Chains A and B, each alone.
Chain A
């Protein structure tokens, strides 16, 4: 199928589950059109059964990530003109996750990894205690602040070559979360987080290739977070903690 004019986009969209194929659609080109707009147009006009996931449409909820022309992106804030200047789009489900159907992936494993990395906050004080006094300028708080804006979109996880090679590895998002907790002075189980990320499949398998940082739509730096975890676990080990 070829676009009939310059005002149409040629859009190949993944149909099916883990095994499936791309189907091509022609979609009217609009100014300021996002990739999510294109997917929505296809579902409303051509393919009512097309499965995909989105919620906020403004880059806050982290649910619309897909693989666009081979790269993981948040589709709601990816403008077609910028990511597909040639007018051709290939939209696939986010990589490194099982496909439920079409563009919707099963993110259960992704969030399980957050738990496996010790990502659950453990309070170190009760509600009877006064609020913690956190110095916003302290190095630890600044390190935590650098990572807490993550919206759990899974783009970094889809970009990670280590996760691609070893699907059970925790991946950048879970490790980034772990690093924010390690630097949160209110967290009551830092040792537990460091133990969790030191298991096989944790931070030490990272090659520091930086795909996560390159692709993070919010400009976060999970690669630096992982480097921080490596440093911290190593220092702990040298200090006699966390040895087998």
Chain B
């Protein structure tokens, strides 16, 4: 792993750690309170705060996962080089697109 990938992976981990904890806490709270989908959407739609929270979450996860997966693949299989880098860049774009689509669905009105 080169330095800039290391920086991106550690930086995204730093962002992800509190967001994951907050997200899990949120999931537990929401399910214990028995909120329906409509009640959740009423709270999230149009909210800049939730858009920022989950937008950042998606971006950090999309950066973090492909770098880690690339390391795992390079250490456990003979696959490396440009083909792998291209595939991981593609994974980043797919994760980002799917994630942002979900964020828009939750916060968009």
**B1-30: which have CB < 8 Å to A?**
1-7, 10
| Chain B residues with CB below 8 A from A243, complex form | 4
**A198:B2 contact, CB within 8 angstroms:** yes
Taking chain B's interface residues, is the majority helix, strand, or loop, or is none over half, making it mixed? helix
How many angstroms from the CA of A198 to the CA of B10 in the assembled complex?
Answer: 15
| Chain B residues with CB below 8 A from A204, complex form | 1-3, 5-6
| Chain A residues with CB below 8 A from B1, complex form | 200, 204-205
Does A227 lie at the interface of the complex (its beta carbon under 8 Å from any beta carbon of B)? no
**A165:B3 contact, CB within 8 angstroms:** no
Does B39 lie at the interface of the complex (its beta carbon under 8 Å from any beta carbon of A)? no
The listed residue with most A CB atoms (<10 A of its CB), out of B4, B5, B76, is: B4
| Chain B residues with CB below 8 A from A202, complex form | 2
Interface size class of B (residues with CB under 8 A): 10 to 19
| Chain B residues with CB below 8 A from A162, complex form | 75
How many angstroms from the CA of A234 to the CA of B10 in the assembled complex?
Answer: 10
- A219-243 to B contact mask, C-beta < 8 Å, 1/0: 0000000000010011001000011
| Chain B residues with CB below 8 A from A145, complex form | none
**B6:A165 contact, CB within 8 angstroms:** no
Minimum CB distance partner of A233 in chain B: B3
Does B47 lie at the interface of the complex (its beta carbon under 8 Å from any beta carbon of A)? no
How many angstroms from the CA of A233 to the CA of B71 in the assembled complex?
Answer: 19
Does A44 lie at the interface of the complex (its beta carbon under 8 Å from any beta carbon of B)? no
How many angstroms from the CA of A165 to the CA of B75 in the assembled complex?
Answer: 5
Does B43 lie at the interface of the complex (its beta carbon under 8 Å from any beta carbon of A)? no
Does B74 lie at the interface of the complex (its beta carbon under 8 Å from any beta carbon of A)? yes
What total of chain A residues lie within 8 Å of the partner, measured CB to CB?
Answer: 16
- Given contacts A200-B1, A204-B1, whether A166 and B6 have CB atoms under 8 Å apart is no
Nearest-Cβ distance from residue B77 to partner chain A, whole angstroms: 10
Does A244 lie at the interface of the complex (its beta carbon under 8 Å from any beta carbon of B)? yes
**A242:B74 contact, CB within 8 angstroms:** no
How many angstroms from the CA of A220 to the CA of B7 in the assembled complex?
Answer: 27
Nearest-Cβ distance from residue A97 to partner chain B, whole angstroms: 18
Does A112 lie at the interface of the complex (its beta carbon under 8 Å from any beta carbon of B)? no
**B3:A242 contact, CB within 8 angstroms:** yes
- A136-165 to B contact mask, C-beta < 8 Å, 1/0: 000000000000000000000000001001
**B4:A234 contact, CB within 8 angstroms:** no
| Chain B residues with CB below 8 A from A244, complex form | 2-4
| Chain B residues with CB below 8 A from A198, complex form | 2-3
15 CB-based A-B contacts, threshold 8 Å: A162-B75, A199-B2, A200-B1, A204-B2, A204-B3, A204-B5, A205-B1, A205-B71, A230-B6, A233-B3, A233-B6, A234-B3, A234-B10, A242-B3, A244-B3
Instruction: Taking A202-B2, A205-B71, A237-B3 as given, write out 7 further A-B residue pairs in contact, using a Cβ cutoff of 8 Å, ordered by the A residue number.
Output: A165-B75, A198-B3, A200-B2, A204-B2, A205-B1, A233-B3, A233-B6
